[in-house]
C-alpha cells in the first residue's frame, strides 16, 4: 500500500488545526463533567428546599440538561467528523492484494453503519426533552460504532495497511468513547435531580421507569400487528408466509420469502420455515425490521452453509445466517456451518441487530460458531456448539438457560468457549452466561482429559465475560481462562464467576489475573437481563420466557 504524497508544511498545519480542535472538544467534555458535579452538589445541598420549591429543581435540571446536551452533541459530531475524515483518507490508499481490497469493501459497509448510528445518536439527543430515557439506546449505538471501526481494522491481514488503518481511526474511536463517558456521567448526575422532590414526584418517576403494559399484558411499544400475532394460542405466531422445500408453502427458499417482504410493511412480519435443510446464505437486511422466523424445531428446520476462512472467505463474510434488521426474533430454528474444524473460522450466524432474540434455536459449527457482533442480544434455551472461540464478538449479550456444547477439535488444539471483543472501557458490551450448562458433546466426552478447554480468552483489551449461576462440567481446565498472547489484556479485561456449580466450577485454582474476579451477589446483579440489557424495556413479550434477575 502507498499513500498519496502531501506537502509537509500543509500537513503539519492541518495536523495542528485538528489537534487544537480536539483539545477544545476535550476541554468542553471535561467542563461538562465539572459543571454537572457542581450542579449535583448544589442539588444535594438544597434537597429540603427543592422538595418545597419545584421551580428551583426544574430550573437546575433544565440548565444542566441544555448545557450537557450541547457538549454531548459536540462530542458526537466530533466523532462523526473524525470518522468521515479518516475514511476519506483511505481513498488515497493503494491496496497491494485482493485480500486488502475485499477487506476495504467490508469497511465501506461498516462505516455506513457507523455514520448512520452516529446520526441517530445526535438526532435522539436533540429531539428528546431529556435523553436519559434513551440512554440504553444511545449507549448501544455508540458502543456499536466503536465495534464497527474495530471490525473494519480486523478485516485486514497483518501488515502495514492494517497498522495504518488502525492509526486512522484512533481519533474517531476516542471521541466516540468520550461521548459514551459523557452519557454515563450525565444520566448518573441527572438522576440526582430526579431523586430530589416530594414523595409524590418520586413515585411518579419510579412508575415512569417501568414498562407500561396494556390490559392484555403487552408492553406499550408493541403495535397492533404484534398483539395480533402474540395472542395466537401457543408459542408460534400466525405466519405471513410459509417456506417449504416440498412446494406446499408460499416459497421454496427462505431468501425468496425475504425478498417478498413489502417495502413499507407495518408491524411484525412472520415467516414460518417448515422442516427441511435449506442450503442458502440468508441475510436479514437492515431494512427488514421486526422479522420473526420460526421453524418446526432446531434440528428440523435448518439453514446450512460451509463458507470458511481457509477457502479464502473473510471471517466477517463466512456466516450462513446474518441478522442486521433490528427487532429480529428467531424461534425453533437451526443454523449450521459444516466447513469443519480443519477450515478454521467458519461462522454459522452473525448477529448485528439491536434487540435480537433467539429462543429454542441451535447454532452448530467449530471455530467461531456464533458471532455476536454488536448491540443488545438475548438467547434463551438455545444450544451453541463449537470448539475455538465459538461464541465471540462485541455485543451486549445474555445467554440464559442455554447449553454450550464443546466439540472435539483437531489434534493439538485447545477449546475456548468465548472470545469477547470489547475494545474500549466505556462500551456497554460483554458476554453473560446465566443459568447455562457448559458440557462436552459425545465425541469429546471420551477425549476430554486430553483436550484443554477454557471458559474464555481476551480477544480485545477490555474483554468482558461473566459466568453466573451456571453448571460447569468437568471438561474445564482448573485455570478457567486462557491468555490470548503473553500479558495482553490481563490487567484490563473483566472476567467474573458467580455462584456456579459442577466439577468445573471450582475457583480455587483459577488464574491470578488483575482482571479476574469471583464476585458477590451485589456485583452479579449488574449482569442480569434487567440491568445489563435493560430487558424490561424490550423483552417483556409473550412466548419468550425471561428471568430478569438472579435465580438465588
Give the span between the Cα atoms of 109 and 346, in whole angstroms: 21
CB within 8 Å of 110: residues ≥ 6 apart: 148, 149, 151, 152
Sheet containing 471-472, strands listed edge to edge, beginning at the edge strand earlier in sequence: 276-279, 301-305, 334-337, 362-364, 383-386, 403-406, 437-440, 471-472
Model pLDDT for residues 431-444, shown as the tens digit of each residue: 999 999 999 999 99
Q: Which three cell numbers stand for residue 460?
A: 480485545
64 pLDDT above the threshold of 60: no
Whether the domain at 58-192 and the domain at 387-551 fall into the same CATH topology: no
The residue ranking higher by pLDDT, 205 or 95, is 95
User: What pLDDT band is residue 68 in, cutting at 50, 70 and 90?
Assistant: low
CATH number of 58-192: 1.20.140.40
b/e per residue 191-206 (b: at least 16 CB within 10 A): ebbbebbeeeeeeeee
Q: What is the value of pTM for the model shown?
A: 0.84
Average pLDDT of the segment spanning 218-222? 43
Answer yes or no: CATH 2.102.10.10 is held by domain 240-361: no
Q: Which residue has the cell 504524497?
A: 5
CATH code matching the domain that covers 387-551, chosen among 2.160.20.10, 2.60.40.10, 3.90.420.10, 3.40.50.920: 2.160.20.10
Q: Of the segments 116-125, 359-368, 538-547, which one has the largest average pLDDT value?
A: 359-368
546 membership: H or E segment, kind and range: none
At residue 217, the pLDDT reads: 43
Average pLDDT of the segment spanning 44-51? 42
**Catalytic residue annotation:** 389
Model pLDDT for residues 434-481, shown as the tens digit of each residue: 999 999 999 999 999 999 999 999 999 999 999 999 999 999 999 999
Give the span between the Cα atoms of 324 and 66, in whole angstroms: 34
Q: Which three cell numbers stand for residue 349?
A: 450466524
Would you list the domain boundaries of the chain?
58-192, 240-361, 387-551
Q: What integer best gives the mean pLDDT of the chain?
A: 84
Give the span between the Cα atoms of 143 and 374, in whole angstroms: 8
Backbone φ and ψ of 133, nearest 5° = -75, -10
Model pLDDT for residues 1-35, shown as the tens digit of each residue: 433 444 444 445 555 555 555 544 554 454 444 44
The residue ranking higher by pLDDT, 223 or 131, is 131
User: How many angstroms separate the Cα of 132 from the Cα of each of 135, 319, 377?
Assistant: 5, 36, 21
Amino acid at each position: 500500500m502507498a499513500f498519496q504524497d502531501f506537502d509537509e508544511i500543509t500537513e503539519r498545519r492541518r495536523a495542528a488545526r485538528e489537534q487544537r480542535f480536539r483539545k477544545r472538544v476535550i476541554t468542553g467534555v471535561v467542563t461538562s463533567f465539572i459543571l454537572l458535579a457542581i450542579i449535583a452538589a448544589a442539588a444535594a445541598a438544597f434537597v429540603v428546599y427543592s422538595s418545597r420549591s419545584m421551580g428551583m429543581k426544574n430550573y437546575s435540571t433544565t440548565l444542566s440538561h441544555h448545557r450537557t446536551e450541547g457538549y454531548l452533541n459536540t462530542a458526537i459530531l466530533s466523532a462523526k467528523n473524525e470518522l468521515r475524515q479518516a475514511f476519506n483518507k483511505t481513498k488515497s490508499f493503494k491496496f497491494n492484494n485482493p485480500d486488502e481490497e475485499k477487506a476495504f469493501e467490508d469497511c465501506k459497509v461498516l462505516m455506513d453503519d457507523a455514520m448512520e448510528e452516529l446520526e441517530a445518536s445526535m438526532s435522539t439527543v436533540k429531539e428528546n426533552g431529556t435523553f436519559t430515557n434513551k440512554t440504553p439506546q444511545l449507549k448501544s449505538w455508540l458502543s456499536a460504532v466503536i465495534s464497527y471501526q474495530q471490525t473494519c481494522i480486523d478485516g485486514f491481514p497483518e501488515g502495514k495497511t492494517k497498522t495504518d488503518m488502525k492509526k486512522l481511526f484512533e481519533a474517531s474511536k476516542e471521541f466516540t468513547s468520550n461521548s459514551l463517558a459523557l452519557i454515563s456521567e450525565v444520566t448518573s448526575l441527572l438522576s440526582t435531580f430526579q431523586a430530589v422532590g416530594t414523595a409524590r414526584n418520586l413515585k411518579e418517576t419510579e412508575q415512569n421507569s417501568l414498562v407500561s403494559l396494556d390490559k392484555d399484558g403487552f408492553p406499550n411499544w408493541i403495535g397492533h400487528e404484534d398483539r395480533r400475532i402474540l395472542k395466537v394460542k401457543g408459542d408460534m405466531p400466525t405466519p405471513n408466509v410459509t417456506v417449504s422445500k416440498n412446494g406446499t408453502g408460499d416459497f421454496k427458499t427462505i431468501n425468496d420469502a425475504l425478498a417478498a417482504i413489502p417495502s413499507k410493511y407495518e408491524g411484525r412480519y412472520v415467516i414460518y420455515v417448515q422442516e427441511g435443510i435449506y442450503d442458502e446464505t440468508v441475510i436479514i437486511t437492515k431494512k427488514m425490521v421486526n422479522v420473526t422466523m420460526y421453524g418446526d424445531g432446531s434440528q428440523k428446520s435448518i439453514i446450512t452453509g460451509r463458507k470458511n476462512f481457509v477457502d479464502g472467505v473473510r471471517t466477517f463474510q463466512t456466516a450462513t445466517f446474518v441478522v442486521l434488521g433490528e427487532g429480529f426474533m428467531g424461534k425453533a430454528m437451526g443454523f449450521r456451518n459444516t466447513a469443519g474444524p480443519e477450515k478454521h473460522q467458519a461462522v454459522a450466524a452473525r448477529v448485528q441487530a439491536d434487540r435480537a432474540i433467539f429462543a429454542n434455536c441451535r447454532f452448530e459449527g467449530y471455530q467461531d460458531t456464533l458471532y455476536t457482533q454488536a448491540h443488545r442480544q438475548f438467547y434463551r434455551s438455545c444450544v451453541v456448539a463449537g470448539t475455538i472461540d465459538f461464541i465471540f464478538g462485541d455485543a451486549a449479550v445474555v445467554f440464559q438457560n442455554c447449553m454450550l456444547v464443546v466439540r472435539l477439535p483437531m489434534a493439538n488444539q485447545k477449546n475456548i468457549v468465548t472470545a469477547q471483543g470489547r475494545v474500549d472501557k466505556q462500551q456497554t458490551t460483554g458476554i453473560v452466561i446465566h443459568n447455562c450448562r457448559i458440557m462436552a458433546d459425545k465425541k469429546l466426552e471420551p477425549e476430554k482429559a486430553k483436550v484443554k478447554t477454557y471458559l474464555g480468552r481476551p480477544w480485545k483489551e477490555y474483554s468482558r465475560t461473566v459466568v453466573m449461576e451456571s453448571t460447569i462440567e468437568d471438561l474445564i481446565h482448573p485455570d478457567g481462562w486462557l491468555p490470548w498472547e503473553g500479558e495482553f489484556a490481563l490487567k484490563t479485561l473483566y472476567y467474573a464467576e458467580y455462584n456456579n456449580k459442577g466439577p468445573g466450577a471450582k475457583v480455587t485454582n483459577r488464574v491470578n489475573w488483575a482482571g479476574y474476579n469471583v464476585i458477590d451477589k451485589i456485583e452479579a446483579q449488574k449482569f442480569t437481563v434487567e440491568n445489563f440489557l435493560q430487558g424490561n424495556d424490550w423483552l417483556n413479550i409473550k412466548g419468550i420466557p425471561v428471568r430478569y434477575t438472579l435465580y438465588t
